[in-house]
Structure 1
């Protein structure tokens, strides 16, 4: 179909609906293409060229969706979490080498403060009151640059991934990576212009940007953009949007189930063709409950940032609870966990394909560790362990990395360690995963206080909340005399919750 975002959108009928939102009229494909041209002119006039990086900090909704889609056709987009604090924005903006940042008109919060601190150009987004996702950009100053169109090898999207080091890694995704992944997802879900996705996913994550927005637009379908997930208004949104599908993380699906009983009439009135789940493991019981409640297949998929999201997906005609499905885009194989060789049986999941990032930016060590050549292909190590069954369905057996997966939000324990170590009373800290019935994992920390210093669990949590986004701050802090260590003297994260009696043995 196409190897750039612009090509993905170029063939759909101009009058067909593309972007919708509560209480607004639909933006058509013709309108979206015209908006893309207008935004390109405004960016070039502001001095933003095809390889410049534009951070986007906007609330969830239609403007965030169209800002990503239009700017990514002209420059490199870098969506950032609207809940970050000023220091976090400053880190990411500097790390990204952002040329500009897009903020809503009148927004004066921490992202604006960080941009001012770093002298980064602020592009103000003025939203249209009537049409979903229609907007204009304004800026002060800027010197006009040449109007070149990005090619398939230019970077469309940059996201940070939480690595096992304290410094998040930069993942550049090319135009061709994003286009390939959008088409893989559309194909595996048999999306057509008749389909409508209701988006409840955050649009600073690969899941929402690719599975909900880009795959819908690749197929000529429409996407109804809510202000984010809210179990209280989910069924009211369904009534207005009339979607054929939605995609979410397991914790969202579980919250929807708690309110499904009293909304049986909506479920009957707005029949879904399927439901999709990704970003964290979907318990088999939840999959079954969703299938019974909605009378539709529940499609579990497996994705990650470095793959521009999707790697595996359960087929529409057969789902296996507890499996992340069959390969759905890239080639998916099993490799030896230390040797650069493909193996049979259980091992590290590796991928190769047109949707896979060319490599981490400015990080030769990570590239050396995570990519290898074998059997005529370049493979990326996912850090997950798993095995295929006889039918070609992949079953994950655990993560090799120590990243905490809090309901789909990935948290680097070393980043949290680094922040807590700034507390004047803390001498040692180990952040670890605490099993949680709904989120899968919650963030916890074990700390040793300095002699003669005092601090309560509440003090330490408040300290973290001032410096980290809420989802990264430890919900449980255990104050100890000594943190358990392994044979080599290293403090051990894995299994720490169990050692401290905070979790049932596996």
Structure 2
């Protein structure tokens, strides 16, 4: 079986002058130049004592030079893509848990990783841009050898190729090791699902330390022999400038980027009219159906929504026209075997809701050094995704929520995305995310963060009134937070479980209030209701003025 470096070398033989990395005002880095770069990085790393299976952290801006570095390292070692914005403490945990042997860092990058690497005794490999006129052309400065290379030469399919962390805080993430063979299977499925060819040009909006940017953008493009444009820092002005000048055929980003692109489209009507996009890709969270539909109208191309994870890469995607496309679903399998499983590990038929599971042997072998997590999520060759979903009779998958995100309000189970969708039907709501807040008696209560449209005035009362009749009463949020922006992580994803902290809604309902005596005698009916609720909630007493 081949590796991505083998694929690049084959492209270099067939079409040596075809562009791989492209940017405005620079000469493209061709496939021949990229193949030579991979060989040069191998020579440098082998000379310094690093080889196949050795983990090299890569640190740099989100540009073509860092993409070239990641690609070069994969030709002879295992790459550990690293977020340059991590704190000192986070970096120490990250480099330790990833078992990094050296840190390759752009010479111009100012990051605490330099200090952390020194404290951990890790060699720093300085990465130079050897010709600023050529997109992404880099080299690694010769350095002191750490000893004889244990496994020199080109990487093989069974070698470790990449190490990623799952989403979450650094200290709570899981380590996902990926072999070169597994990586190639992932990116081949992506390229096939998107119908990519050498004529395609991608604009990547995602970080090069995240599976979305690494696999769906960089990996699939290089597999197909196409070209890629990197966006070091997102802004709608930078996006539309590249759309105007770079002959893009597709772009990929999380739903937060698509929302901003959608909002700014009227200001760039001429660029939109002349765009030659073939499709848009949305992942790392589900794009609102209304926004997706309007983007298709604006750009006159399909929005391809995918269901992906760090462990599995792309699982499902919406098919291209003229195939049937069902709004609200994540489409059909992108090549993997998918099922729906109940809590007793039984596979369920179409129409029944349960946990989404995926046959994973060819793309995921388990978390590193975490037998407890592996025992929980790997069942008879199936990977439990933690997502709840249902298949229809045609094999289209609808996700109904994260199992861990489901809000348990006194025994009533609420899927946050259902509340999101109801809020998004309000004409004055631009974005909405539903999340749990702690409650002293119910365990959890429903809250929602809402971004209003410009010039509108939303209140808790107007939103609650709008939702009544659209949702069961227990699903209507008791707290609304009206904001200009909803906090996201570094990949642009919203963590529902952390929004209560972000909005300061932790302490007011997290602890039981002091007992407040009733201010009047209860009526006979109220007395019966007090006893009934106390029995249901397992409490000694429920006061007349309790809020639950």
TM tier, smaller: 0.7 to 0.9
Question: Which of 101, 108, 111 in structure 2 is aligned with 1:109?
Answer: 111
Q: CA deviation at 1:58?
A: 1.0
> What is the match of residue 319 of structure 2?
315
The residue correspondences of 1:93-492 to structure 2 (distance < 5 A) are: 93-127=95-129, 128-142=131-145, 143-145=147-149, 146-162=151-167, 167-307=172-312, 309-317=313-321, 318-336=324-342, 338-344=343-349, 345-353=352-360, 355-373=362-380, 378-402=381-405, 435-437=448-450, 474-478=501-505, 480=507, 483=510
CA distance 1:166–1:92, shift in 2 (3 Å)? closer
Please state whether the residue corresponding to 1:306 is helix, strand or coil: coil
Please state whether the residue corresponding to 2:400 is helix, strand or coil: strand
CA RMSD of aligned residues (A): 3.2
CA distance 1:111–1:488, shift in 2 (3 Å)? farther
Deviations 1:292-315 (A, max 9, x none): 0000011100000001x2000111
Please state whether the residue corresponding to 1:10 is helix, strand or coil: helix
Q: CA deviation at 1:434?
A: 6.1
Please state whether the residue corresponding to 2:6 is helix, strand or coil: helix
Q: CA deviation at 1:7?
A: 2.4
Please state whether the residue corresponding to 2:404 is helix, strand or coil: coil
CA distance 1:481–1:224, shift in 2 (3 Å)? closer
Q: Distance in 2 between matches of 1:278 and 1:157?
A: 21
Are the equivalent residues in 2 in contact too, given 1:323–1:393 (CA < 8 A)?
Answer: yes
The residue correspondences of 1:22-37 to structure 2 (distance < 5 A) are: 22-37=24-39
Please state whether the residue corresponding to 1:92 is helix, strand or coil: helix
Deviations 1:15-60 (A, max 9, x none): 1111112322100111110000000111111111111101112110
Gaps of 5+ in 2: 408-415, 418-434, 436-442, 453-488, 513-535, 540-545
Q: CA deviation at 1:326?
A: 0.4
TM-score, normalization by structure 2: 0.74
CA distance 1:6–1:32, shift in 2 (3 Å)? same
CA distance 1:135–1:166, shift in 2 (3 Å)? closer
> What is the match of residue 2 of structure 2?
3
Are the equivalent residues in 2 in contact too, given 1:329–1:353 (CA < 8 A)?
Answer: no
CA distance 1:211–1:346, shift in 2 (3 Å)? same
Which protein has greater RCO, CA pairs closer than 8 Å, 6+ apart? Answer: 1
Larger radius of gyration: 2
Are the equivalent residues in 1 in contact too, given 2:60–2:109 (CA < 8 A)?
Answer: no
How many pairs are equivalent? 437
Give the stretch that moved more between structures: 214-223 or 158-167. Answer: 158-167
CA distance 1:34–1:488, shift in 2 (3 Å)? farther
Q: CA deviation at 1:200?
A: 1.3
Q: Distance in 2 between matches of 1:355 and 1:252?
A: 31
TM-score, normalization by structure 1: 0.80
Gaps of 5+ in 1: 407-412, 414-429, 440-464, 490-498, 502-506
Q: CA deviation at 1:268?
A: 2.1
Q: CA deviation at 1:437?
A: 4.3
Q: Distance in 2 between matches of 1:63 and 1:434?
A: 43
Please state whether the residue corresponding to 1:302 is helix, strand or coil: strand
Q: Distance in 2 between matches of 1:110 and 1:165?
A: 16
CA distance 1:215–1:129, shift in 2 (3 Å)? same
> What is the match of residue 51 of structure 1?
53
Are the equivalent residues in 2 in contact too, given 1:198–1:246 (CA < 8 A)?
Answer: yes
Q: Distance in 1 between matches of 2:62 and 2:171?
A: 27
Are the equivalent residues in 2 in contact too, given 1:62–1:225 (CA < 8 A)?
Answer: yes
CA distance 1:487–1:72, shift in 2 (3 Å)? farther
> What is the match of residue 94 of structure 2?
92
> What is the match of residue 64 of structure 1?
66
CA distance 1:164–1:126, shift in 2 (3 Å)? closer
4+ residue runs over 4 A deviation = 163-166, 402-406, 430-434, 470-474, 484-489
Please state whether the residue corresponding to 1:233 is helix, strand or coil: helix
